[in-house]
Structure 1
Amino acid sequence: MQVEDRLKELKVTINKKVPRGVTVTDVEFEGPEMVIYTDDPKRFAEDHDLIKTLARDLRKRIVVRPNILGDTEEAYDMIKAVVPESAGITDIFFDTDTGEVLIEAEKPGVVIGKNGSTLRDITMKTGWTPKAARTPPIPSVTIKQVRQYLRESRDERKEFLRKCGKRIHRDSIYTGRDHDQWLRLTTLGCCRQVGRAAFLLSTPESKVLIDCGESPGATGAASSPYLNVPEIYPFTNLDAVVLTHAHLDHSAFIPLLYRYGYDGPVYTTPATRDLATMLQLDYLDVNNKEDRAPPYSSNEIREFVKHTIALGYGDVTDIAPDMKLTLHNAGHILGSAIAHFNVGNGVYNVAFTGDLFYGKSRLFNPAVSQFPRLESLVIESTYGGSDDFSPSRVEAEERLYEVINETLGRGGKVLIPAFAVGRSQELMLAIEEGMRNNRIPKCKVYLDGMIKEATAMHTAYPEYLNTDLRNLIFRDNYNPFLADCFEQVDSYDKRQQVIFSEDPCVIISTSGMMNGGPVIEYLSNLAESPKNMIVFVGYQAEGTYGRRIQKGWREVPIGKRGTIVINMEIQTVEGFSGHADRKQLMNYVQYVQPKPERVFTIHGEESKTIDFASSIYKKFHIQTVAPQNLETYRMV
């Protein structure tokens, strides 16, 4: 049956199910959603169980849109009257193509109302379909640009969503022929190494790529996944891309797919979409500054944004005729997700952890470990070696306070290379509390690179933060990210002022592995003085400047800057990583439910992935594999 015929049948079925007098004029697939067009959106809003009932019976994600839209000025006044003033509305945008009205507010929960009551009231009174979005307490340039671009490209995006919907809901070729069903996993990167994450799930019906990142510190072909092999190329054969989180070793090369023919969706969380956009733009900027030809342009990043379909945690979503995706919290960075795939309507289930943290941090809750069904688990092994045991966060913070006190006490500067997303915010929270509780002297903490922008996004998406931090910001009205000790470095002159000032201070700067970014400028000028200290708090990949300095190199050749002599003190403070250590990883495998039949250990140095796989097999008697790149495994 053709998609158009199926839509006609669905329209007839829906008209039989809706109350008498309610007319469904059209039904369309737009991406994974089924959109119902009606002259009676208010009737749908009045019966708030109607959409839930239709979604359950038809097993589709359903959106209702009106055919006839009310006057925008009248609707604007009505929304202002319906929504309590305490919501703090900052913007109202009407999309006449979709019939949706985006309401940006300081407290979107007030716009939504209890169980969605205020949203339903808006629809009943205006006919428009409302969506609530948070106004970031710290203005985010990236979020503003992303939302503006999505508004400007709404016609193209609507066309893309309809095309995507038809591809998702196309007829299944192998329905009813169980002997022809199979599932294969192909490793295109990130195996027995950290970086260039890329995995391909293939069935007779579909091909789905999970992540597509760079290899930190590598150059040339070694920096990207194997994208020229017949399993994945041409990219037009891909049904979908799933992005687990925003870090460049998982997201950097997704725009490249659009440069070479891909025109399909990227499924990820809204926070990951925005963070990845920020990091990809910075990736281009760093390439240009270092006279390296970037692999794509900002045009392809815009294509990535336009083609992204944002999902919340727990949303079960059709992404191909025979594949459903559900994203779950991974505890690693803002919006990071474990991608769970249900293949062939329950024939096989596999979860990709991406990067995960299986403990509570200052920012996030622990990674989810409970799934409806699970046959295979693909798990990271960054700290999977037998000796990779990290101290607790409490111990890590105590050690951080010690090295800061020591350096400030001798009049020096503390330089902390940190990833803009995740580690920087953990450090900010720990340092702010340390100063507030007089554990360390009050001083300026300078933030350089994209840290301020990334921090703004954390306050724009508080639903991803743990309960304690959300309550502190929104119930107790204290935002530690806005503390007086933090100061943004946003110019060359300001950076020079920080470097040459006599005042002791803390500097948190990107990039986290010192393979570019403003941290190199600080290193060049601060390295000579033994009063200063460089403190590593995150993973340093082989081949990066950070790894060399961490190993104790005292002379480091850095591109055009020549050789930097390191006299400053070098310290590593373990325990701040967003990756699970060996104990957490083993605990995760122990407590994950259901118990998988097979575990693949990836995203780690060769010795660590092999050690971790061997330990899982010995302790839990689960079949394990530490795959190499360019291998294919049949799952079914």
Structure 2
Amino acid sequence: MKLIDLNGDGGIGANSLYIQLGDFHLVIDSGLHPKKSGRDAAPNLRPLQGVKLDLIIITHCHLDHIGSLPLLLRNQPDVPVIMTQPSRMLIERMLHNSVNVMVREREEKGTADYPLFTHEEIDRIAPRLYGHPYNHAKKFSGAKDDIEFILHPAGHIPGAAGVEIHHKNRRLFITGDVLFNVQRILAGAMFPKAKFDTLVMETTRGVTERAAEKTRSFEMIRLVETINATIERGGSVLIPVFALGRMQEIMAILHDARKFNKLVDAPIFASGLGMDIADLFDQIAKKTGAVHFTRTILKDLQVRKTPRDIKAGKEPPQQGIYVVSSGMMVEKTPSYTLASALAASPKHSICFVGYCDPETVGGALLAAEKGEPFLFADANVKVKLRCQIERFELSGHADREELLDYAVQSHPRSIVLTHGDPPARAWFAEQLKEKLPKAKVLDPVPLQTYTV
């Protein structure tokens, strides 16, 4: 088997992996780097020049895994793209939203390459996107060789899948992004308990050691208690979220708390892509049962649209609970503007509920000390940081110990580390060499070809 990581910077970014099994050529995912812009945000597709792909498989619909798919398909005019049925129901909406964001960024920042693709291009590739049910083996014939694949539920977000591939006598498993714990809206990963020749695994939380007492249930209770205390002292709560998966999960948690009279009576605000995805989750729940979320949750909570007159550095016009994107507080997003408005007052709270890259504004806020100056450069707002900032262990990614245990029980001959920053990969590499001394552990250098 040959393998090339097409994510030019490695780490967590434009996730895309090229795999050759005999004469069968496939790519797993084709994302965009969330911290880059223009062509620099896309995978480096040069290693695919002259290669006719037989298949593309998408593990899930976060943009760091699908955001460059139209670019990949331009030079692969006939290749089909396989994903789970829920992902098929989500992917076009996510890609169309990406075009809208790129157009806006071109207008605001003058990014010449944007948009990298158009709405019309998404419509043209749509017939090549196929939904496949979980846990059903399917044989797929390439130009010369055949493979068989099975998509397994991966938790993380609705539609996420781990990919099992059989080629002749070789068995390969790709975890994709995975969460083994049960979420309020989604069951945990259900991966095969089997021996694999090669395991390709994510490493997102390799440097994050979860304290024993910080169970998911404990953290949900702590989140609700923090919200209540903030509202009762006259403040507002900002919960920065990813529009796909995290927003709906938080709404379901708030719904449960209010149903059992555990949540203070305060307005809840949300808007944008996350609300559109809530509609799609409602459809997925009815058609596939793969997600436990309906529009009734938003109706019961009486969720309101986020006010449009929120201004950077100014108190929001209404006290409340703001569940808005982006999860990492990318500039010019509602969460960024609101953070600049809340950060200076001790009555307010900012509650992080997912992964935050250290180099983003959200990561910088988490690392900052209370009382020190903090600059929201894009908004031209500098404040003394006085608000309450909390991090809650509600990540959509598996704890490192869980992934390590899964790797050990799989007894692979080779392990390929992906989707993690260098320190996270280093932790996994060290642990795996100790627990699986006979296995070959590979942390691939981007764009280099490896024989596994």
- Residues 599 and 481 of structure 1: is their aligned pair in 2 closer, same or farther, counting only changes over 3 Å? farther
Question: Whole-Å Cα distance in 2 between the matches of residues 629 and 394 of structure 1?
Answer: 38
Give the equivalent residue in structure 1 for 2:445: 628
Structure 2 runs not aligned, ≥5 long: none
Query: What whole-Å deviation, never above 9, does each CA across 1:494-514 have from its counterpart, x for those lacking one?
Result: x67xx8666531001111111
Q: Tell me, what secondary structure is at the counterpart of 1:324?
A: strand
Matches within 5 A, 1:311-330: 311-319=132-140, 320=142, 321-330=145-154
Query: 1:570: how far off?
Result: 4.5
One-letter amino acid matched to 1:633: Y
Give the equivalent residue in structure 1 for 2:359: 543
Query: 1:537: how far off?
Result: 1.0
Query: What whole-Å deviation, never above 9, does each CA across 1:593-634 have from its counterpart, x for those lacking one?
Result: xx3222222111101111112212212434322222123222
Corresponding position: 1:431 with 2:246 = no
Choose the corresponding residue for 2:158, options 334, 340, 343: 334
Question: Whole-Å Cα distance in 2 between the matches of residues 217 and 445 of structure 1?
Answer: 29
Give the equivalent residue in structure 1 for 2:403: 585
Query: 1:386: how far off?
Result: 6.3
Query: What whole-Å deviation, never above 9, does each CA across 1:282-327 have from its counterpart, x for those lacking one?
Result: 2221222222322111122223322101101012223334222211
- Residues 238 and 331 of structure 1: is their aligned pair in 2 closer, same or farther, counting only changes over 3 Å? same
Assess if the C-alpha contact under 8 Å between 2:57 and 2:81 holds in 1: yes
- Residues 389 and 597 of structure 1: is their aligned pair in 2 closer, same or farther, counting only changes over 3 Å? farther
Assess if the C-alpha contact under 8 Å between 1:549 and 1:556 holds in 2: no
Choose the corresponding residue for 1:445, options 263, 268, 277: 268
Query: What whole-Å deviation, never above 9, does each CA across 1:361-400 have from its counterpart, x for those lacking one?
Result: 2122221221666211111000022635582111111220
- Does 252-261 or 610-619 show the bigger shift? 252-261
Corresponding position: 1:302 with 2:117 = no
Assess if the C-alpha contact under 8 Å between 1:358 and 1:588 holds in 2: no
One-letter amino acid matched to 1:486: V
Corresponding position: 1:286 with 2:108 = no
One-letter amino acid matched to 1:379: M
Query: 1:219: how far off?
Result: 3.5
Query: What whole-Å deviation, never above 9, does each CA across 1:515-574 have from its counterpart, x for those lacking one?
Result: 243323323433443322221111112432222222217433443x33443645242333
Give the equivalent residue in structure 1 for 2:320: 505
Question: Whole-Å Cα distance in 2 between the matches of residues 296 and 220 of structure 1?
Answer: 11
Matches within 5 A, 1:520-599: 520-552=336-368, 554-559=373-378, 561-565=379-383, 567=385, 569-592=387-410, 595-599=411-415
Q: Tell me, what secondary structure is at the counterpart of 1:461?
A: helix
Q: TM-score, normalised by structure 1?
A: 0.64
- Residues 245 and 226 of structure 1: is their aligned pair in 2 closer, same or farther, counting only changes over 3 Å? same
Matches within 5 A, 1:27-38: none
Choose the corresponding residue for 1:197, options 4, 9, 15: 15
- Does 523-532 or 305-314 show the bigger shift? 523-532
- Residues 554 and 265 of structure 1: is their aligned pair in 2 closer, same or farther, counting only changes over 3 Å? farther
Question: Whole-Å Cα distance in 1 between the matches of residues 119 and 75 of structure 2?
Answer: 14
Question: Whole-Å Cα distance in 2 between the matches of residues 223 and 528 of structure 1?
Answer: 33
Matches within 5 A, 1:113-192: 183-189=1-7, 192=10
Question: Whole-Å Cα distance in 2 between the matches of residues 542 and 501 of structure 1?
Answer: 27
Root mean square deviation, CA, Å: 2.5
Query: 1:185: how far off?
Result: 1.5
Query: What whole-Å deviation, never above 9, does each CA across 1:448-484 have from its counterpart, x for those lacking one?
Result: 2211111122221223546xx48xx7xxxx9434323
Question: Whole-Å Cα distance in 2 between the matches of residues 397 and 566 of structure 1?
Answer: 29
Question: Whole-Å Cα distance in 1 between the matches of residues 122 and 26 of structure 2?
Answer: 20
Query: What whole-Å deviation, never above 9, does each CA across 1:32-54 have from its counterpart, x for those lacking one?
Result: xxxxxxxxxxxxxxxxxxxxxxx
Q: TM-score, normalised by structure 2?
A: 0.88
Question: Whole-Å Cα distance in 2 between the matches of residues 256 and 566 of structure 1?
Answer: 43
Assess if the C-alpha contact under 8 Å between 2:266 and 2:321 holds in 1: yes
Assess if the C-alpha contact under 8 Å between 2:39 and 2:116 holds in 1: no
Question: Whole-Å Cα distance in 2 between the matches of residues 259 and 536 of structure 1?
Answer: 38
Corresponding position: 1:613 with 2:429 = yes
Assess if the C-alpha contact under 8 Å between 1:273 and 1:308 holds in 2: yes
Corresponding position: 1:351 with 2:166 = no
Question: Whole-Å Cα distance in 2 between the matches of residues 210 and 584 of structure 1?
Answer: 23
Structure 1 runs not aligned, ≥5 long: 1-182
Give the equivalent residue in structure 2 for 1:519: 335
Assess if the C-alpha contact under 8 Å between 1:401 and 1:434 holds in 2: yes
Higher helix proportion = 1
- Does 246-255 or 427-436 show the bigger shift? 427-436
- Residues 306 and 436 of structure 1: is their aligned pair in 2 closer, same or farther, counting only changes over 3 Å? same
Query: 1:405: how far off?
Result: 1.7
Question: Whole-Å Cα distance in 1 between the matches of residues 8 and 405 of structure 2?
Answer: 22
Question: Whole-Å Cα distance in 2 between the matches of residues 448 and 568 of structure 1?
Answer: 27
Assess if the C-alpha contact under 8 Å between 2:26 and 2:53 holds in 1: yes
Query: 1:407: how far off?
Result: 1.2
Give the equivalent residue in structure 2 for 1:412: 235
Assess if the C-alpha contact under 8 Å between 1:195 and 1:215 holds in 2: yes
Higher-Rg structure is 1
Query: 1:408: how far off?
Result: 0.5
One-letter amino acid matched to 1:184: K
One-letter amino acid matched to 1:412: G
One-letter amino acid matched to 2:441: T
- Residues 187 and 480 of structure 1: is their aligned pair in 2 closer, same or farther, counting only changes over 3 Å? same
Question: Whole-Å Cα distance in 2 between the matches of residues 502 and 361 of structure 1?
Answer: 33
Matches within 5 A, 1:447-466: 447-462=270-285, 463-465=288-290
Question: Whole-Å Cα distance in 2 between the matches of residues 430 and 359 of structure 1?
Answer: 15
Query: What whole-Å deviation, never above 9, does each CA across 1:577-601 have from its counterpart, x for those lacking one?
Result: 1100122222322444xx3222222
Give the equivalent residue in structure 1 for 2:79: 264
Query: What whole-Å deviation, never above 9, does each CA across 1:4-24 have from its counterpart, x for those lacking one?
Result: xxxxxxxxxxxxxxxxxxxxx
Query: What whole-Å deviation, never above 9, does each CA across 1:57-110 have from its counterpart, x for those lacking one?
Result: xxxxxxxxxxxxxxxxxxxxxxxxxxxxxxxxxxxxxxxxxxxxxxxxxxxxxx
- Residues 588 and 366 of structure 1: is their aligned pair in 2 closer, same or farther, counting only changes over 3 Å? farther
Question: Whole-Å Cα distance in 1 between the matches of residues 162 and 9 of structure 2?
Answer: 18
Q: Tell me, what secondary structure is at the counterpart of 1:189?
A: coil
Corresponding position: 1:368 with 2:190 = yes
Give the equivalent residue in structure 1 for 2:41: 223
Corresponding position: 1:387 with 2:215 = no
Query: 1:437: how far off?
Result: 1.7
One-letter amino acid matched to 1:205: D
Assess if the C-alpha contact under 8 Å between 1:191 and 1:603 holds in 2: no
Question: Whole-Å Cα distance in 1 between the matches of residues 316 and 381 of structure 2?
Answer: 24
